[in-house]
Amino acid sequence: MLYHPDKHRDPELKTQAERLFNLVHQAYEGQWKSEVVERKRTPAEIREEFERLQREREERRLQQRTNPKGTISVGIDATDLFDRYDEEYEDVPGSSFPQIEINKMHISQSIEAPLTATDTAILSGNLSTQNGNGGGSINFALLPSAVFYATVGPLVIYFAMHRLIIKPYLRAQKERELEKQRESTASDVLQKKQEAEAAVRLMQESVRRIIEAEEARMGLIVVNAWYGKFVNDNSRKNEKVKVIDVTVPLQCLVKDSKLILTEASKAGLPGFYDPCVGEEKSLKVLYQFRGVLHQVMSADNEALRIPKQSHRIDADG
């Protein structure tokens, strides 16, 4: 109030009062703002600021610490220094000086690279040599938690995604492609089926004579034969069975108690057709030879020769 300009009428005093008043006002405002800032910080905020500073110091300490360690060991053969030959032996040039040899050496070094407050990466290496032969190695380790996050974790995530997302997607995509292929070849498959059924009807009389001849000699009798896609997975039991009965066509190919099929798709054999275009197929045969049951499962393009001792079904089974 003393320096307020309105309190003075003299122009010169008024000017000086105005200048002093402004200085005092600025000083007062600055002090008031400082008090407001200081007073509005709670104990919790002060503690949080302290903890933040502590973390920053810890991070700087981790970055600066590598904790290098190293060892060097040298093996020296100084036998000649302590166990000299007798002087009566013939002197050899230069033999007056004892021979000292370094016969082995080992060097190891390691450094630590802190990753977090609990995880540390360790890089180490060693080199060894003895009698002219040597070797070395370099090792890199993490603490268990880091190893898990860097290796096991991604693998678990990958396998989970592969099983729950990728595999079902690929299976569905493959099924869509097969469905398109089946639709495009439906008329051709129907024609092949009709041709195969006609061929089977024409084979009936020949097959009857072949069976009579094989029964007379206790030879090869095809009891049952199926061709197509066999579903063994219990989770896929409800899938439509995609196999056809090829008992008659196979029996028709029996000659002198033998059946020989070459390495080719069996869909091209007389009386056969492809019941599942684009899918893997197999041929399953139950046959009798010398009164003993045999069974074999053959891939579509796999050569097959029967009878074989390995196909025999044990009586216990």
pLDDT digits (tens, 9 = 90+) for 147-177: 555 556 677 777 777 778 888 878 888 777 7
How confident is the model over 223-238, as a mean pLDDT? 74
Question: Is pLDDT above 80 for 197?
Answer: yes
Task: Check residue 250 and give its pLDDT.
Answer: 94
Residue 41 CA, chain-centre distance (Å), reads 53
Per-residue pLDDT band for 133 (boundaries 50, 70, 90) equals: confident
Percent with pLDDT over 90 in the chain: 23
Supply the DSSP string of 80-110, one letter for each residue.
HHHSPPPTTSPP-TTTTSPP-EEEEEEEEEE
Quote the CA–CA distance of 101 and 76 in Å, as a whole number. 6
Q: What is the mean pLDDT of the chain?
A: 77
- Secondary structure class of 290 (helix, strand, coil): coil
The pair of structure tokens assigned to 168 is 């079902």
**Residue from 178, 114, 168 nearest 146 by CA:** 114
Quote the CA–CA distance of 254 and 260 in Å, as a whole number. 8
Model confidence pLDDT, tens digit, residues 257-280: 999 999 889 988 989 998 888 888
For residues 214 and 221, the answer to whether their CB atoms sit within 8 Å is: yes
- Among all chains, which residue has been given the structure tokens 């110091």? 57
Provide the H-helix boundaries in the chain. Answer: 11-39, 43-64, 79-82, 144-147, 153-161, 167-184, 186-216, 247-252
Least reliable range by pLDDT among 71-75, 112-116, 191-195, 235-239 = 235-239
5 DSSP 8-state letter: G
The pair of structure tokens assigned to 12 is 């010169």
**Model pTM above 0.75:** no
For residues 214 and 254, the answer to whether their CB atoms sit within 8 Å is: yes
